[in-house]
Structure 1
Amino acid sequence: MLILGLDPSLTCTGWGVVRVDGPRLSHVANGQVSTNAKSPMPERLLHLHDALIAVIETYKPDRAAVEEVFVNKNPQSTLKLAHARGAVLTACGRMSLPVNEHSTRLVKKAVVGTGAAEKQQVQAMLKILLPLAKVSGSDAADALAVAIADAHLKG
């Protein structure tokens, strides 16, 4: 089974694909989709949508896992995150890809063992769980963590 993990953001959305074979996990691919902050919102969302459609068409995952929205102190940031999640979920829907949603805390707990884990702890566990992966950046690392958590939580 292939799981596509997604860490939505309007600035840079991370994605990661892992293969699950019983209790074994292996890295397939990962990357990041950045949008131009100077472009109008509709163009940024379309770019994000189209790029994720291409990822789904390329890797043909069996399901996706997406990080849930968390509320920022800045309402504008939360709204932009919600827009990005909408584009991500729409791409999955267009490709008839089932989606599981997980809180950041649950992802950290599934990967590291504690929901209060720091980013560095999550990235250290990724190196242990996916030792051959060359991770494209922190957003891709977060997406891989979401995919791994989904594998552990949903089987």
Structure 2
Amino acid sequence: MFWVIDTNYRLLKCNKAAENYLFDNYSLAISVGESVLDLKFDADFLKKWESLYNSAFKGESFVINGSTIEKDKHSYIQQLVTITPLKNLKNCIVGVCCSVIDLSVKNDVYDSITDEQKLILQLNQYEEAILVFEQKSVNNYEIKYVN
């Protein structure tokens, strides 16, 4: 799954997998423009994510390999979490890109992920990358990678 937030923690974009995960596992929904920190999660969980976002707002890019989260309160799944600062053309941080890949899936993960997630993985290979946000309408952005 994949999502992008601005520096005020507001959702700019997410894929259907992220929407489905929130709804299927937590009966939660979020819309573009809403704060990801307003989701009804445990306070400690939200503080952890706020800290991760804040580190990325300071320019840190990182991968959390093999982290586990509870699913359906009965089992755990292995995940690869990637968090990357999002910069504008002036090299200012304007948000954070996040992706989560379920490592417990046995088929070829890379073939099954979306173009947006592939973009996030590619960005982690480069020290300098430029993303361009084109606003299509209110709360609707198209993200393009500029090589």
Name the TM-score class by shorter chain: under 0.3
- Between Structure 1 and Structure 2, the one with more strand by share is 2
What TM-score, normalized by structure 2, do the two folds share?
A: 0.28
- Between Structure 1 and Structure 2, the one with more helix by share is 1
